[in-house]
């Protein structure tokens, strides 16, 4: 799957993690995007081993959470570090899962084991796999944005009705 599509899937999962917290929507999408994009930084060095393993996912997510928590404490904010880290981790795990659908698979337990996880046999540049990734991502993003719009529109409409009643 192409790196941009991995990132788009990450953005979609980030937006879904933000849920009803509209102020978290864009930051969660950005962290999901980064998480979906990040594992391909190992393209030149042991690709699908170094940054496609559980150890690297958990280590990087712990580092992200620690840095965000320190920044939050310094700025006097709260709770966003959890959602941003979850978006980052979810984007990363979606990347790894989608790469496990390819012929090459992923070395999910590396460096402990050379076990290769392969859930299907698509080629990385498979047009079908890439189209499915784009359509799935855009469907999720459009649905969630539309749902947020409807929810806030109904809140505003109800507020106006209440004001007019008084």
- What pTM value is reported for the model? 0.86
106, 117 Cβ separation under 8 angstroms: yes
- 105-124 pLDDT, tens digit per residue, is 999 999 999 999 999 988 88
Judge whether 132 and 98 are in contact, CB under 8 Å: no
Q: What is the pLDDT of the chain when averaged over all its residues?
A: 90
Q: Which two tokens stand for residue 103?
A: 């012929």
Every domain of the chain and the residues it spans: 3-165
Q: What is the pLDDT of residues 53-86, one digit of tens each?
A: 999 999 999 999 999 999 999 988 777 999 999 9
């Amino acid at each position: 799957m192409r790196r941009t599509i991995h990132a788009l899937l990450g953005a979609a999962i980030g937006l879904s993690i933000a849920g009803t917290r509209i102020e978290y929507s864009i930051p969660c999408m950005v962290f999901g995007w980064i998480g979906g994009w990040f594992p391909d930084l190992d393209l030149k060095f042991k690709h699908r081993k170094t940054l496609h393993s559980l150890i690297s996912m958990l280590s990087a997510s712990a580092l992200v959470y620690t840095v965000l928590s320190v920044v939050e404490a310094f700025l006097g904010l709260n709770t966003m570090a959890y959602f941003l880290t979850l978006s980052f981790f979810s984007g990363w795990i979606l990347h790894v899962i989608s790469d496990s659908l390819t012929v090459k698979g992923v070395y999910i337990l590396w460096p402990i084991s050379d076990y290769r996880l392969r859930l299907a046999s698509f080629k990385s540049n498979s047009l079908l796999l890439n189209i499915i990734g784009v359509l799935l991502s855009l469907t999720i993003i459009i649905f969630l944005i539309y749902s947020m719009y409807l929810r806030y529109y109904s809140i505003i409409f109800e507020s106006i009705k209440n004001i007019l009643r008084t």
